[in-house]
Structure 1
Amino acid sequence: MQRGQEVSSSVLTVPNLISLLRLALVPVFAVLIVSGHDVWALVVLAVSGFTDWLDGVLARRLHQVSKLGEMLDPAADRLFIFVTLAGLAWRGVVPLWVLVVIVARDAVLAVVVVLLGRRGYGPLPVSFVGKAGTFALLYAFPLLLLAEVPGGVGAVAHVVGWAFTWWGVGLYWLAGWQYLGQARRLLGPGTSDGATSGRWETR
């Protein structure tokens, strides 16, 4: 969201409908990846990535930035990351530890959000590191899926996909550490209760 952009409480907006479409694609993608239909799974991921870009652009240009949209967008990102990882781990494409470290980070931050809410604070605002980590992971997993294709294309996708994975995991946890530091300062002694202006985009 651009600085100074007004956030509304509207529900039925064009960007929100697009975000809901992305969420609806999650179970479709899950079935495709588990059943081994990799080409169609990649198509769904491509559509999801396009709609992720499109809903943000339309929200700003149509002045339809909403609180619901700020929740739906990162929720769809997390779901696609989790479903992709779970499917790839189930098929043995990626080791289980990759799934564990990413889910563990989100579980820790979910507890932090609850603690902040009890003190009257909103979710922490998104950081550049958090966005970079999320985008790296969203690029990594389609490449790891493409790496299953035999030949040169698969070999290149394997190397690039794992590079994105390592960077994504590192940035994902670095952002989590930053969020924990912000939460500790807010929840520390002498901090008065009160709602913050943070947006629901912590990634």
Structure 2
Amino acid sequence: MSARIVTLPNLLTVLRMMLIPVFVSLLFYKMYAWALFVFIIAGTTDGLDGLFARRFDQRSSLGTILDPIADKLLLVTSFVVLSMPNIYPQPLPRHLPIPFWTTALVISRDVFILVGAAAIHLVTGFRRFRPSWPGKLNTTIQILSIIYILSAAHLTTLTGYLPGVYSLVGASAFFSGIHYIFFASRLLAEERREFDV
């Protein structure tokens, strides 16, 4: 893994973080089409940074730290802001804003994993955490859900499916959070076996 800081994947990750305040500002000004456009760009960089890191062998220690931070900042900020009634057109479209329980599940999952990983590191010294496939799927579901919610705020004919979207986000957050307990335990067991050998 490279120690380089300035790589294309890292630049894309930084761009994703820089787009967050732009996205939020556009929402508060009720410029939903532009907010959707900016979010799609930010969400696309999430896939591209990993792709370029693998394709051009530009994995870096900084990237492994920045990438998940950028993901969480983008998605948690999006869910929190889209849970506020005042950013939507009035009268409120049907099934908007995002229900509190959906945003609470999204945040709780991330806090749960962060606290769990920190506890494991403090007790065992283990630090080789990496994303699980349900975690990657959860991120994809959340990105697509935000895109749909923004589209529904702009085109209210789409709001009828929002309860299903919220249920999918909640189920994905819950399942991927529980799965990560077992995934992290397996990673820890594998490292101990390598150490014993």
1:35-46 map, 5 Å: 35-46=29-40
Query: Any idea what the Cα deviations from partners look like across 1:79-99, whole Å, max 9, x if unmatched?
Result: 111111111111251111211
Q: Distance in 2 between matches of 1:138 and 1:186?
A: 27
* 1:95 equivalent in structure 2: 99
- The alpha-carbon distance between structure 1 residues 141 and 9, as it changes in their structure 2 partners (threshold 3 A), is same
1:15-30 map, 5 Å: 15-30=9-24
- The alpha-carbon distance between structure 1 residues 180 and 16, as it changes in their structure 2 partners (threshold 3 A), is same
- Is 2:173 aligned against 1:168? no
SS of residue matched to 2:148: helix
Q: Distance in 2 between matches of 1:60 and 1:183?
A: 23
Q: CA offset at residue 28 of structure 1? A: 1.2
Q: CA offset at residue 176 of structure 1? A: 1.0
Equivalent residues of 2:16, 2:74 under 8 A apart: no
Of Structure 1 and Structure 2, which has the larger fraction of its residues in helix? 2
* 1:139 equivalent in structure 2: 144
User: Please, which of 92, 115, 126 is the counterpart of residue 121 of structure 1?
Assistant: 126
* 1:104 equivalent in structure 2: 108
The one-letter code of the counterpart of 2:120 is L
**TM-score if structure 1 supplies the norm length?**
0.79
Query: Any idea what the Cα deviations from partners look like across 1:88-142, whole Å, max 9, x if unmatched?
Result: 1112511112111111111111111111221201153211111111101110012
Equivalent residues of 1:132, 1:168 under 8 A apart: no
The one-letter code of the counterpart of 1:106 is D
Number of corresponding residues: 183
**TM-score if structure 2 supplies the norm length?**
0.81
The one-letter code of the counterpart of 1:149 is H
Q: CA offset at residue 24 of structure 1? A: 0.7
- Give percent identity, aligned residues only: 30
Equivalent residues of 2:98, 2:166 under 8 A apart: no
Aligned-CA RMSD value: 2.6
Q: Distance in 1 between matches of 2:128 and 2:163?
A: 31
Q: CA offset at residue 187 of structure 1? A: 8.1
